[in-house]
């Protein structure tokens, strides 16, 4: 009887083990496919700050295309130092909204608008942007009230800027005398780019030296181009509070193509 009992239990244990192995294989395949898509095609990001307002708001959930500028080690999770430079490199366009790795640590993801290409001369004069010794035209729009982030609202001026390539977008400006509203002339080195936030007086960007801000960004550090706002929630939404998924949603921003 004992031998018979052992024999009858064996198929059950074997079947359970086979089922477990199949589950593990399925999960592994799914993870590999997800990694493949994340490295080669698309990656999601959540906007954590106000530096790109009004284009991007805190709580926007965006999709970034990894293939737009080719691939570097920063295209791979944890940025392993397996090769230098970029493969299948494509030059970005002035005005693109781009995710890149912060030069001083090579790990932190930043998102800003591309202002200066290699060889460009970039300067701020009394809050106005100059590229290659020409002022970027801007059109004043009606001001709006925004959350200051310090418990009160404040008035902010809006401008529609037009780049030499015809790219148009809206910026925020608190006035012409901010800390980075008057700068030296930055000459963008070869193989580097110059970035700024659309919220001009609330952005640590290439106007600030790399020790404290962004500085010039090497081409290798580009991660991808921000393409679309997929979803968006007001601050206060939480994964662990399902009712906020609806109450804090900003459906008017869903599926917004970025300019």
Q: Which residues are identified as catalytic? A: 51, 112
Cα 203 to chain centroid distance, Å, stands at 14
Encode 72-105: b = buried (16+ Cβ within 10 Å), e = exposed: bbbbeeebeeeeeebeeeeebebbbbbbbbbbee
The DSSP H or E segment spanning 143 is strand 138-147
Q: In Å, how far are 20, 21, 36, 107, 124 from 45, measured between CA atoms? A: 33, 33, 17, 14, 29
> Rounded to an integer, what distance in angstroms lies between the CA atom of residue 98 and that of residue 65?
10
Phi, psi for residue 186 in degrees, rounded to 5 = -90, 125
Say how many C-beta atoms besides its own lie within 10 A of residue 156's C-beta: 21
Buried b (16+ CB within 10 A) or exposed e, 28-37: eeeeeeeeee
């Amino acid at each position: 009887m004992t031998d018979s009992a052992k024999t009858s239990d064996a198929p059950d244990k074997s079947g359970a083990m086979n089922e477990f192995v199949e589950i593990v294989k399925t999960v592994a395949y799914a993870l590999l496919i997800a990694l493949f898509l994340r490295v080669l095609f698309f990656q999601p990001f959540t906007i954590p700050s106000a530096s790109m307002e009004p284009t991007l708001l805190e709580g926007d959930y965006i999709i970034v295309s990894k293939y737009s500028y080719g691939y570097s080690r920063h295209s791979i999770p944890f940025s392993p130092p397996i090769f230098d430079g970029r493969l299948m490199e494509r030059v970005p366009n002035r005005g693109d909204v781009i995710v890149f790795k912060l030069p001083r640590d090579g790990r932190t993801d930043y998102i800003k608008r591309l202002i200066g290409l290699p060889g460009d001369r970039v300067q701020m004069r009394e809050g106005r942007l100059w590229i290659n010794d020409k002022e970027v035209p801007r059109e004043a729009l009606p001001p709006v009230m925004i959350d200051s982030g310090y418990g009160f609202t404040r008035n902010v001026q809006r401008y529609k800027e037009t780049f030499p390539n015809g790219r148009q977008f809206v910026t925020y400006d608190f006035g012409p005398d901010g800390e980075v509203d008057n700068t030296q002339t930055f000459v963008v080195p070869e193989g580097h780019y110059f970035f700024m936030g659309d919220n001009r007086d609330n952005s640590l960007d290439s106007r600030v030296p790399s020790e404290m801000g962004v500085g010039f960004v090497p081409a290798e550090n580009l991660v991808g181009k921000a393409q679309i706002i997929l979803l968006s929630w007001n601050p206060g939404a939480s994964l662990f509070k399902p009712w906020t998924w609806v109450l804090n949603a900003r459906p008017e921003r869903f599926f917004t193509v970025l300019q």
